[in-house]
Every structure is written in structure tokens, then in C-alpha cells.
Structure 1
Amino acid sequence: MAFATVGAVVLDCPDPVALAGFYAELLGGTVEDDGEGWVDLKNGTGTSLAFQAAPGFVPPRWPHADGSQQFHLDLSVEDLDAAERKVVALGATVLDAEDRSRTWRVYADPAGHPFCLCAG
């Protein structure tokens, strides 16, 4: 039987306020800065994203040489092309979107965390 629930998904980054702003534009919600290197993005869904200052932060590499990857977010969208234009305008980097026949594409947020836009 489960004895825990997910409180938040936390992303380490060099600038929590800036990265929370990126995801607020992408997902909606309210940015709540505690002023001590921790920022929450509340979006009313019960699951929150949090952003934690990490001195010396080094973004994950994608794809990793051994084929594995760290944690990433899959974000559902109605229109992949329109969503791609929007996330790039917000500061995302395209990592893998060459195969336009797939139902997903890979990007990096402004701090370098990989995430996927998935046709919903």
C-alpha cells in the first residue's frame, strides 16, 4: 500500500525565479518566491513544480552518451508546431524535433533541463 504522495517536482537551476517564469508562461499558474532560493509554481492541479537554486549547476546532457537520461517532463499539447513556436519564443532550445511524423519532440528549458512536447 502506498504511504507517500508527490508533493512537488523540483528542478535545480541557477535562477529559480527566471525558470519558474518560463514554466508559468508555458503551463500557467502563479509563481511564489520564498526569497531563499526556492520558488513554487502553483497551477491549481494539485501537482506543483518547484525550483531550487543550485550553485555550480550543470545542465543534464541529452542525449547522454550511454543512452540513459535523467528525469524529464512530458507536456501534452494540442498542436505540436504551435507549441514549438511558443516554447522557443520563451527561451527553450530544440534538442530533437527532426522527425515531424512522431507524436513528440524534445527541448531544453532555459536552464538546460530536457522536456518533451507530446501531442495530446
Structure 2
Amino acid sequence: MSDTSRPDSTIGYDCVALDCADPAGVAQFYADLLGGRVEADPDGDWFNVLWDGPRIATQLAPDHESPDWPRGQQQAHLDFVVVDIAAAHERVLALGGTALDPTSPPQPAPDRGFRVYADPAGHPFCLCRPTEDAWG
């Protein structure tokens, strides 16, 4: 029987790792989006995005197939909080991301508090408003 109260049995959060065919490019996308920097593994197969939030990592998966959201499973996604959705929307597109839902530019007083995008490798992520009145 294991002792779960021992300090060495504690589990802590490390990172979210995203598989992709271009881990350097996807890491740079998130670093630019979040105002962070990229730290590369010496082998070039793993990249860390270091910023003010939890670490995001990208790893080489040469045969990676992008999720086919919303037609297929999205597998997993990241949520980011933004106050100025219009500015964040333009930044995502300028960095090579894609608007998935809705695809049109943000409008004042939206019906819902999030918008879905994809990074350059096709991983879905959401830009979410922090409160009900943040976009009002």
C-alpha cells in the first residue's frame, strides 16, 4: 500500500505540450501572442514558451494531423483571457492564426463570451472575456 502523504508522491503541474510538425513555429506563435519568449531544447524537438502564465511546450510530431474542429474531436484546447477582443483577434490573425468560430471580426456586445481560433498547426484555442461586461 502506498503512502500518498509523502512529499515525494505529490503531483504538480508542469506544462501543456502540443504535438505539431513545426514545433519552433508554433512555439513562436504562442510566444508572440502572449508576449513571452521561446526556449529551445538542444535537440530541436521540444520548445518551451515562457511567459507570465503556465508553461506551454511544443514537441515534434512529424505525422501530426490537425484536429478537425468542429467536425471532429478537438482533443484539447487552451483558453486565454482578453479584455480587448478586437485587438486580440487582429493579433492572432497577424501571427498566422485562424478564426474558427465565428470567422467574422468581433462586434460590440457579442452574444457569448468567447471566440475560437486555431494556431498555425491547427490546435484550437479560445479568447475569452474575463467578465460578463468586459466587452460591453
Provide TM-score, normalisation by structure 1.
0.88
Matched residues, number: 117
Cα RMSD of the aligned pairs, angstroms, is: 1.9
Q: Please give the alpha-carbon distance, in whole angstroms, between the structure 2 residues aligned to 1:8 and 1:117.
A: 19
> Does residue 39 of the first structure (1) align with residue 43 of the second (2)?
no
Q: Give aligned-pair identity as a percent.
A: 48
Aligned pairs for 1:1-120 (under 5 A) are 3-36=10-43, 37-45=45-53, 47-65=54-72, 68-97=73-102, 100-120=110-130
Which region of structure 1 is more displaced relative to structure 2, 56-65 or 86-95? Answer: 56-65
Q: Which amino acid aligns with 2:78?
A: L
Extract unaligned runs of 5+ from structure 1.
none
Unaligned runs of 5+ residues in structure 2 are 131-136
Q: 1:69 to 1:17 in 2, by over 3 A?
A: closer
Per-residue CA shift, 1:75-118, capped at 9, x if unaligned?
00011111111101111111102693211000100000000000
C-alpha distance in 2 between matches for 1:49 and 1:41? 5
The amino acid that maps onto 1:76 is V
